[in-house]
Amino acid sequence: MVLIGARTDEQRAGNLEAADLVLSADELARLEQVSRPNLLYPYWHRPMTASSRLSTADLTLLGPRLI
């Protein structure tokens, strides 16, 4: 169930239209880049000290940040 917190018919219509929004790969990548939170220690430190020994789990977390 989805609850829509619209106060007016115009807000409700706009909220429902947003369900049909399709973003390009570039737009999704940009949103990911600007909304990604900073990593806490030790995660930001691992690529600097152990880049040749990163596990699959490390790469899942750090992969997008290593590009």
C-alpha–C-alpha distance, residues 16 and 19, integer Å: 6
Q: What percent of the chain has pLDDT over 70?
A: 97
- Computed over every residue of the chain, the mean pLDDT equals 86
Three-state DSSP at 55 gives coil
Res 24 pLDDT > 90: yes
Token pair recorded at residue 46: 């691992």
- For the chain, helix (H) and strand (E) counts, in that order, are 4, 0
Q: Which pLDDT score is estimated for 48?
A: 83
Domain boundary assignment for the chain: 23-65
Asked if the peptide bond before residue 47 counts as cis, ω within 30 degrees of 0, the response is: no
Four-CA torsion 57, 59, 60, 64, nearest 10 degrees: 160
